[in-house]
Chains A and B, each alone.
Chain A
Amino acid sequence: MFGLDIPLPEFWIAYFFVFWVLVGASTTPIIFRHRGQNPLLGALAGIVVGAIAGVIFLLLVVALEPVVDLLGQPMLGALISLIASAAITLALLGFARRFVPGAARDAAAGAAGGPRAPVTYSARVDKVDPNWQSMQSIRASVAVMLAALTLIPVIWMGMTAFKSYPDAVASPPKVAFDPTMEGIITLLTRRRQMTDAQKAEYEATEDLNWADKVMLKSGQAILGQSDYVKRLRNSLIIASTSTVLSVSLGLFSAYAFSRFPIPGKGDLLFFILSTRMLPPVVVTIPIFLMYRELGLYDTHIGLIALYTAFNLSFSVWLLKGFIDEIPKEYEEAALVDGYTRMQAFRRIVMPEAVTGIAATTVFCFIFAWNEYAFALMLTTDKARTAPPHIPSMIGTGLVEWAAIAAGSLFFLIPVVIVTFTLRKYLLRGVTFGAIRQG
């Protein structure tokens, strides 16, 4: 989409300014507050630092131009400038920090018997230390920027989804563009290209809705709905059903493996694990033949069964680890307190294992949601999921990048929803067990 070899790409400059302004704006106010200064002043300082960093970057690129020309490596200049200007800015920040008044006052307050304001954030001495706190906020803002860096492709995809065709394929790539719904409408409809005469006639008809008008600009008439929504619905049905199945089956078998003396337990567990040792794609052809014979080809049940089978080994092993960590005294206490094993399982084991269940659910869902090879081989239309459908839109001739980007964007949403709903369980150690391992 864009390369480092473009001399002074607007994108890099914009990105660099934004990066440093954000680092500055998120770091300096905190440093200022800890030192008893006005945080707004700090934010201003941060923005100034960001601007200075951007200017240093620009100057470096210009200064390095002859060297770069000499070496014939155009992207080298941008890279060196990037790293060097970051280093210079950090050094400047560190140097400027000495001149922020307050350190002496802190020391005086410490000598006088304590901090000026009530310490509400942490009672630990090392965490109250201003240096520790400013390091902490610098670390946090760097983490945010790294996250932003990894999000660039996703953001780019989101932008592309709203670009018109000329904007989408423009080089150098456009950061600022006129948003249009063309891509999304292209994704959701089937259309026909019109000649000028047809276009004039079409334009004259009364009942043109909003979408028709958008497409008219590129001379296309909407004929009907595309298959995309159907594919997405298939994806949802297949991924969620197989996730529910593999997590619930996995939970029961993991519990049994964890708690009961099953004959040949080790062998069985290894057998379950061994289904993971073969790359699934290897067995595509036999499975294809089997499915055709069994009438499972291009059915929802076929893909659900397949994904459940693939995820089951994973979910058994993952959940077994989580259940092993729940002391068996938990259920035993419930058993002597008058509960049956099933009740103890539902009321004690499941709430205690919720972290594991959530993590397994996310992994299983993502696998089933993203699976491409089997969906491509084992479905044609009725049960076809979104992953094999999106690349098929590339087709021949003109590539509708905006439509593809829009399709991928919608495809992301369910995974994001699932992961975000379960994210608080995904952090281990959120719940503190009442069991003391003495």
Chain B
Amino acid sequence: MATIELVQVEKLFGEMHAVKPMDLTIHDGEFVVLLGPSGCGKTTTLRMISGLEAVTRGRILLNGRDVTWERPSERDIAFVFQFFALYSHMSARQNIAFPLQAQGEAKAVITQRVADVARLLRIEHLLDVRPGALSGGDQQRVALARALVRRPAAFLMDEPLGALDAEFRETMRAEIKRLHIDQHATTVYVTHDQIEAMAMGDRIVVMSAAEVQQVGTPAEVYHNPSSLFVARFIGSPGMNLIQGHYVNGVLHLPPSNRYTVPARWVPAIQQVVGGEGDVILGFRPEAAAVVSDGPLAAEVYAADLHGSYTMLHLSLGPDEIVHSRARRETHYPIGTPVRFDLNPEMVRFFDPQTERAIVREGVPA
């Protein structure tokens, strides 16, 4: 298997940066997800790793070997495309055998390996069908089989589930994850779906506007977002972010709420803003709990039942809505005044100037 290293890799389309210089090391057997909104450069990054797109500057190393200027065919990497890219004039079997034919494998070996990979993906009964007659999920299985059959050094997947129906997506997500665990192959997976990224990735690379925002495990990017962008992008809904005014250990929030900053955050905040200044308070919906003696006052704006829990929309001011997860049994009519408290372990602070998180030693992930 393989380690993939990107050293100051950069891509320009004309004058425009598709990918700003980025460093990334993908370890052997790791499942790394490139996550970001469309147009953030995640697919371009993947295509540069595969060699389908030439890098403008920087180097790409595969197992320590510089492959920056090698052809895609020389890199020993498999690519799974969003729209499968199965050859419509060939049966599933011919599609799967196609990469092996390029290597000039013997007929018997090809037959054997196609059969093996078909069994692994449970598509043995579909081998003689043309791709056009297969369902989306089966097409993707054939595409995966075509990638797997060659036993490449690494797998690159470009939104492989994006073209599938919601029900198939869940199944295929588990299948790909399971396949990764069994095969233990280095995988780079591109998606814009943060739920997919959280569910599948060993590590997530969050990208936005051609830049890497944060690299970390799913728990890290969820609990300790490094920037406002990551805080908003990860989670549904994203992190609650309220701008307040910090004065000596107390955060003044709209309209007239006062939140006492947990003591261990005070030094870090004061280091950034001094004794007084604007600070953004961030917390996940599950960090806020409605309690009768909570320090913060709000009004119920809306309440949606999500089955296992109720999502409360609390309005602090005219434009400040925060989300809070409540027990599903509780019933809150719109307009009810409520008080709520925040779990001191789960609050985070951001500097509104730089949009970066204020960091403190020893934050648990």
Residues of A at the B interface (CB closer than 8 Å) are 327, 329-330, 332-340, 343, 347-348, 351-352, 354, 431-438
Contact = CB atoms under 8 A, between A and B. Distances in A.
Given A337-B98, A435-B88, A438-B83, 11 more contacts: A327-B85, A333-B87, A333-B146, A335-B51, A335-B52, A335-B73, A337-B99, A348-B87, A352-B89, A436-B83, A436-B139
B139 A332 contact: no
A332 B79 contact: yes
Interface in B42-87: 50-52, 71-73, 75, 77-79, 81-87
Interface of B: 50-52, 71-73, 75, 77-79, 81-89, 98-99, 102-103, 130-134, 136, 139, 146, 150, 156, 162-163
Contacts of A431: 88-89, 132
Contact of B52 (A336, A338, A432): A336
A182 to B, nearest CB: 51
Given A330-B85, A432-B88, A436-B84, A340 B73 contact: yes
B149 to A, nearest CB: 10
B60 to A, nearest CB: 14
Contacts of B82: 438
Contacts of B139: 434, 436
A351 B146 CA distance: 19
B99 to A, nearest CB: 4
Which residue among A339, A347, A435, A438 has the maximum number of chain B CB atoms within 10 Å of its CB? A435
7 contacts: A329-B83, A332-B72, A332-B81, A335-B51, A338-B99, A338-B102, A435-B83
B78 A336 contact: yes
Contact of B83 (A327, A339, A347): A327
B330 to A, nearest CB: 40
A335 B74 CA distance: 9
B73 A434 contact: no
B87 A330 contact: yes
B63 to A, nearest CB: 17
A354 B88 CA distance: 12
A332 to B, nearest CB: 5
Contact of A336 (B79, B89, B103): B79
Contact of A332 (B52, B87, B130, B162): B52
B146 A435 contact: no
A432 B78 CA distance: 25
Contacts of A339: 73, 102
Contacts of A327: 83, 85
Contacts of B83: 327, 329, 435-438
Contacts of B163: 436, 438
A438 B85 CA distance: 13
Given A351-B89, A434-B88, A436-B136, A337 B81 contact: no
A329 B51 contact: no
Which residue among A338, A340, A352, A436 has the maximum number of chain B CB atoms within 10 Å of its CB? A338
Contacts of A433: 88, 132
Nearest to A332: B52
Contacts of B73: 335-340
A336 B88 contact: no
A334 B98 contact: yes
A432 B103 CA distance: 28
A326 to B, nearest CB: 10
- Please provide the 5 A-B residue pairs with the shortest distance between their CB atoms, ordered closest to farther: A434-B131, A432-B132, A338-B102, A337-B99, A329-B85
Nearest to A334: B98
